[in-house]
């Protein structure tokens, strides 16, 4: 599903976020990315979603070589990936429902079918009753769940989550982990970055540890 | 096909929402576009109305031939018949000197001649030329002046020529203004679109991250530009109509002082259609140019 081959990412200014990273994640896996902040977790996720380009090395996601991906092909590549952001990136000028509708709308899906899928996604994250609310009126945990609903509504094969449990209390974090496990059970590949080692120990699963841009264990 | 339509309708709604989200700013922009468009349109309308006046006058252009006083009515009639046969003359009207006097008296100007011993008026031939353009008139008049029985030729060709030259200048001005202000319109639209894009940066970024194509992102902004252009066109149309309405009173008074009446012609349906279509297209053009450039400059992955 994901293959990194000696990938280095150097930002302008010389900071090297990832150094010669090689790893493989198979389809259907649920993988935790750990490491202190600044270890390169976010960079690794961004490279996987083609939000950033590697300085050197090769990345293959879903059978596609990211470095050779043309700008015009990017949208179609991204539609197979559900992205969950630490800062949610919700749109505050529209309802909860419309936020989740956006990915479907972008793919040209509208009407009853789309509405049904939006409600199904909202139901999965327990926000069905808030569909008319504005995201700003939701709590931090609810906003995170809304972000998850938006990521899964288009049924992607791969979900990338950047610190989805950050700033959430334990009850919410457990909730979200249960959700992720449920997705994984229906075949979705998940890569989740976190520094909450307790949680990983409790749930188990493969762990890739990063330290100063290098993979220390995987 | 249906999905395409729904997506377009959605983009249209998004564009309208954005336009109404800042009503004052939108209103001012539309007003600026309206004023910019109303200048060339107004000038065009002014020319069209002048043409209407000069058209009326032109078809009535006549050359008066005052014959020598010793010409007999028979000689005058013979000359009239000869002239009638010329291909460049449509009609010749013979006014007998006695009849001329009667006309003068009928017009209440009899007092002028009352003190004179005899009838001072000559026989007159009023010639209506066939091709009443300024140059043709001039050469015809010169030719007629050379005729033996003709004493004097009277024609107002000078003002007709000046008017025609003036109208030509006016048309050039309209064309130049139209091009300049059309560019201005595209620039204004482009700039508002640019600001719109910066304001919607978050939305564009999110849309891009969840798989929106450039075309999808661009669409609502293109609608925005087109709607803004169309609204500006409508504003221009209203401004022009209002101006025509305001001027009509003084024009009527002026016309009345010349003993006629004159109704200002407004924009025809066709001209209104061209105005609105042009403003919409220019808005779209401005948006198109700005969107591509600005989206690239945002550098969203």
Q: Which residue has the higher pLDDT, A210 or B101?
A: A210
The percentage of chain B sitting over the pLDDT mark of 70, rounded to a whole number, equals 90
Task: Decide if A150 and B210 are in contact by the 8 Å CB cutoff.
Answer: yes
**A153 against B9, higher pLDDT:** A153
How do residues A174-201 score in pLDDT, each as one tens digit?
Answer: 888 888 898 999 999 999 998 888 888 8
Q: Which domain holds residue A122?
A: 26-54+70-217
Partner-chain contact B210 A106, CB within 8 Å: yes
pTM: 0.71
Per-residue model confidence (pLDDT) at position B96: 84
Residue of B nearest to A83 (CA): B210
Q: Which residue of chain A is at minimal alpha-carbon distance from B217?
A: A106
Q: Which residues of A touch B201 (CB under 8 A)?
A: none
Candidate from B4, B202, B207 with C-beta closest to A106: B207
What pLDDT is attached to residue A45?
93
Mean of pLDDT over chain B: 83
What CATH number corresponds to the domain at position A186? 3.40.50.300
CB contact under 8 Å between A102 and B206, yes or no, is yes
pLDDT in tens, B173-212: 888 988 998 888 888 888 888 988 888 888 888 998 988 8
What is B92-106 written as a DSSP string?
A: EEEE-HHHHHHHHHH
Note whether residue A13 is domain-resident: no
Confidence of residue B132 (pLDDT cuts 50, 70, 90): low
Residue B60 has pLDDT above 70, yes or no: no
**Locate tokens 């909860």: which residue?**
A96
The structure tokens listed for B85 are 């046969």
Output the CATH code of domain B62-155: 3.30.70.3040
Q: CB-CB: which of B203, B216, B301 is closest to A91?
A: B203
Domain boundaries, chain B: 2-57+161-298, 62-155
Alpha-helical (H) ranges within chain A are: 41-48, 74-78, 96-106, 111-124, 140-152, 170-185, 197-203
Chain A residue numbers touching B6 (CB-CB < 8 A):
110-111
The Cα of A214 is separated from the nearest Cα of chain B by a number of Å equal to: 24
Query: Around Cβ B55, how many Cβ atoms within 10 Å?
Result: 10
More confident residue, A6 or A171: A6
Do residues B206 and A89 make contact, with C-beta atoms less than 8 angstroms apart? yes
Decide the pairing of beta strands A81-84 and A64-65.
unpaired
**Which residues neighbour B206 within 8 Å (Cβ) at sequence distance 6 or greater?**
A89, A90, A91, A102
Where do we find the tokens 């630490």? Answer: A86
Q: pLDDT band for B55, please (50, 70, 90 cuts).
A: low
- Structural domain total, chain A: 1
> What DSSP string runs through B113-162?
HHTSSS--PPPEEEEEESS--HHHHHHHHHHHHTSTTEEEEE---HHHHH
Percent of chain A whose pLDDT exceeds 90: 49
Interface with chain A: mutation pick from B3, B199, B201, B210, highest number of A CBs within 10 Å = B210
The pLDDT tens digits for B264-286 are 888 889 999 999 999 999 999 99
For residue B87, the number of C-alpha atoms closer than 13 Å in the C-beta half-sphere is 0
- Tokens 């006014």, located at residue: B95
Q: Which residues of B touch A (CB under 8 A)?
A: 3-4, 6-7, 10, 202-203, 205-214, 216, 301
CB of A27 closer than 8 Å to CB of A50: no
**Least confident interval from A39-53, B127-141, B179-193, B239-253:** B127-141
How close B176 gets to chain A, by Cα (Å)? Answer: 40
Q: Return the higher-pLDDT residue of B156 and B203.
A: B203
Read off φ and ψ for residue B103, nearest 5 degrees.
Answer: -60, -40
pLDDT of residue B108: 63
CB-CB under 8 Å, A111 with B211: no
Of A35-49, A151-165, A194-208, the poorest mean pLDDT is in A194-208
Residue B87 has pLDDT above 60, yes or no: yes
Cβ A39 vs Cβ A210: under 8 Å:
yes
d(C-alpha B284, C-alpha A75), whole Å: 25
Query: Residue B257 pLDDT more than 80?
Result: no
Cα→Cα distances B37→B29, B176, B269, Å? 12, 12, 17
> At residue A16, does pLDDT exceed 60?
yes
């Amino acid at each position: 599903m994901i293959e990194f081959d000696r990938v280095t990412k150097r930002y302008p200014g010389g900071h090297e976020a990832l150094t010669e990273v090689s790893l493989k994640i198979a389809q259907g896996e649920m993988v935790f990315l750990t490491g202190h902040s600044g270890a390169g977790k976010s960079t690794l996720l961004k490279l996987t979603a083609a939000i950033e380009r590697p300085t050197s090395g090769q990345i293959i996601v879903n059978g596609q070589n990211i470095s050779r991906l043309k700008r015009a092909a990017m949208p179609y590549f991204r539609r197979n990936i559900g992205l969950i952001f630490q800062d949610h990136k919700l749109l505050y000028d529209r309802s909860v429902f419309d936020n989740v509708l956006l990915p479907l709308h972008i793919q040209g899906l509208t009407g009853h079918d789309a509405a049904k899928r939006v409600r199904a996604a909202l139901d999965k994250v327990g926000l069905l009753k808030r569909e008319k609310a504005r995201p700003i009126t939701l709590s931090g945990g609810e906003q995170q769940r809304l972000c998850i609903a938006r990521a899964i509504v288009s049924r992607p094969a791969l979900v990338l989550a950047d610190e989805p449990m950050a700033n959430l209390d334990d009850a919410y974090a457990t909730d979200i982990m249960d959700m992720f496990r449920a997705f994984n059970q229906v075949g979705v590949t998940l890569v989740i970055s976190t520094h909450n080692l307790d949680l990983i120990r409790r749930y188990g699963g493969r762990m890739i540890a990063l330290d100063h841009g290098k993979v220390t264990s995987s | 096909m249906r999905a395409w339509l729904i997506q377009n309708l959605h983009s249209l709604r998004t564009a309208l929402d954005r336009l109404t989200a800042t009503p004052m700013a939108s209103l001012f922009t539309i007003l600026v576009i309206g004023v910019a468009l109303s200048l060339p349109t107004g000038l065009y309308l002014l020319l069209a109305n002048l043409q209407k006046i000069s058209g009326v006058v032109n078809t009535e252009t006549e050359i008066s031939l005052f014959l020598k006083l010793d010409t007999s009515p028979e000689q005058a009639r013979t000359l009239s018949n000869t002239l009638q046969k010329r291909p460049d003359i449509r009609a010749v009207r013979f006014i007998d000197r006695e009849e001329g006097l009667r006309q003068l008296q009928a017009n209440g100007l009899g007092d002028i001649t009352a003190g004179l011993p005899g009838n001072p008026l000559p026989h007159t031939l009023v010639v209506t030329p066939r091709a009443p353009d300024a140059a043709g008139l001039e050469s015809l008049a010169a030719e007629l002046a050379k005729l033996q029985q003709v004493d004097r030729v009277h024609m107002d060709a000078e003002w007709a020529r000046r008017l025609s030259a003036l109208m030509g200048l006016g048309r050039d001005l309209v064309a130049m203004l139209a091009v300049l202000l059309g560019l201005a319109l595209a620039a204004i639209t482009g700039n508002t679109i640019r600001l719109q894009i910066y304001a919607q940066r978050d939305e564009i970024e999110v849309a891009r991250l969840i798989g929106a194509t450039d075309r999808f992102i661009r669409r609502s902004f293109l609608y925005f530009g087109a709607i803004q252009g169309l609204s500006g066109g409508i504003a221009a149309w209203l401004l022009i109509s209002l101006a025509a309405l305001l001027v009509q009173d003084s024009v009527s008074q002026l016309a009345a002082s010349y003993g006629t009446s004159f109704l200002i012609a407004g924009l025809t349906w066709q001209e209104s259609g061209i105005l609105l279509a042009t403003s919409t297209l220019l808005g779209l053009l401005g948006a198109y140019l700005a969107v591509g450039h600005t989206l690239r400059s945002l550098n969203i992955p």
